[in-house]
Amino acid sequence: MTEQKSAPASALFFLQTALILGLILIFALAWLWLDTRQRFSEIEQSLAQRLEKSAVSNQQSQAVSKLADERSQEAMAKITLIEQKMAEFRGQQQAMQTLFLELANNREERIVTEAEQLINIANQQLQLAGNVKPALLALQTADSRLQELDAPLAIQLRKAIARDLQKLQNLPLVDTSGISIQLENLAGNINQLPLVSSRIAKSILAPVPDASLNQWQQLTREVWQEMKSLIVLEHIDRPEPPLLAPEQSFFLRETIKLRLLTARVALLQHDQATYRRDLAAAEQWLKNHFDTRDSATKSALKAIHALAADNIVINVPDVSESLRLVSKYKLMLARS
């Protein structure tokens, strides 16, 4: 009688554990993806408003606008794919809840069913988002449940789970949330960075007359300034960028923001190549068009360089052996 009472309570506890793991994944991914999608939407709206207010015919502006649109569409396609996977996962979670509520009173069958659901959750955590910690917790919980059984298949299944746990524990940890926040902050600060063309424009402004100089000294100073203007030293291997119109500088900043946001999307997908390609593009735009003597620009370049060096790849281990064995175990119980 005591065992019958404890069985529903135990099943309820592990149901709650499994659901919490699923909800953590859903809410974390939902927040990150919705936040990224909202930022893309804001940039697209801003671009549309600018284009409505001014007829931009300059080829550079058109090229930048086209690039921004392409990057936005690419990122939105990736976000849609992830949202579909999340919807599928939520459906599986609901099916799991129904299954737990319909569990038979058979103790061994109940424990194996709980273990199967936990192993499935671990696999979903790894395949959907590369979340190692929740997957570890799910497998450890499944192993603790199987400790109550001494059947040969249960022991064999625990050995397979132990091998999977070892694979996960050997994986490098990726601070996805921390890197995502840094990319978001960089994108938010782009509007405050000074353009190199602004510095050049200031440097060629006419000098303000000094009231303390007499007429002869002032004339001498003006002649000297004119003579200096006749001699221009220029790095032929690094020509200064042309002055940008307001519309061009706007599209330039929005393009860099898009690069940083698409790098954020690549981070969530653990796509190392796309992640580094977008960061490299953002870094090159900053070097070419922004004042690299400015401390804020230097800080941004340093941050991008450091982020590009991060390894965001997670080689998700194969946990199919555990899944295969637990399915075999459950099928054997159903036939007996």
**For residue range 223-280, what is the model confidence (pLDDT) as tens digits?**
555 555 444 444 444 455 555 555 678 888 988 999 999 999 888 888 899 999 999 9
Contact 118, 142 (CB under 8 A): yes
CA–CA gap between residue 45 and residue 39 (Å, rounded):
10
- Of residues 322 and 59, more confidently modeled: 322
Provide the 10 A C-beta neighbour count for residue 321: 15
Most confident of 79-88, 200-209, 216-225: 79-88
pLDDT for 198 equals: 63
CA–CA gap between residue 126 and residue 320 (Å, rounded):
12
Over pLDDT 90: what percentage of the chain?
Answer: 24
Residue 324: closest CA among 123, 187, 174:
123
- Of residues 75 and 103, more confidently modeled: 75
Please determine, for residue 87, whether its predicted confidence score (pLDDT) is greater than 90.
no
CA–CA gap between residue 280 and residue 302 (Å, rounded):
12
CA–CA gap between residue 229 and residue 235 (Å, rounded):
16
Q: What is the per-residue burial (b if ≥16 Cβ within 10 Å, else e) of 44-77? A: beebeebeeeeebeeeebeebbebbeebbeebbe
- CA 270, 193, 253, 40 torsion-angle sign: positive
- Of residues 55 and 293, more confidently modeled: 293
pLDDT confidence band for 301 (50 / 70 / 90): very high
Contact 143, 161 (CB under 8 A): yes
pLDDT for 236 equals: 42
Contact 75, 265 (CB under 8 A): yes
**For residue range 114-124, what is the model confidence (pLDDT) as tens digits?**
899 899 888 88
Please determine, for residue 4, whether its predicted confidence score (pLDDT) is greater than 70.
no
Please determine, for residue 284, whether its predicted confidence score (pLDDT) is greater than 90.
yes
- List the alpha helices (DSSP H) in the chain: 2-53, 59-101, 107-129, 132-146, 152-169, 176-189, 196-203, 215-230, 246-268, 272-289, 295-309, 320-335
Mean pLDDT, rounded, for 184-188: 92
The model's pTM is 0.57
- Among all chains, which residue has been given the structure tokens 């993806």? 33
- Of residues 34 and 107, more confidently modeled: 107
- CA 196, 202, 205, 210 torsion-angle sign: negative
Domain boundaries of the chain, sorted by first residue:
2-173+315-335, 176-309
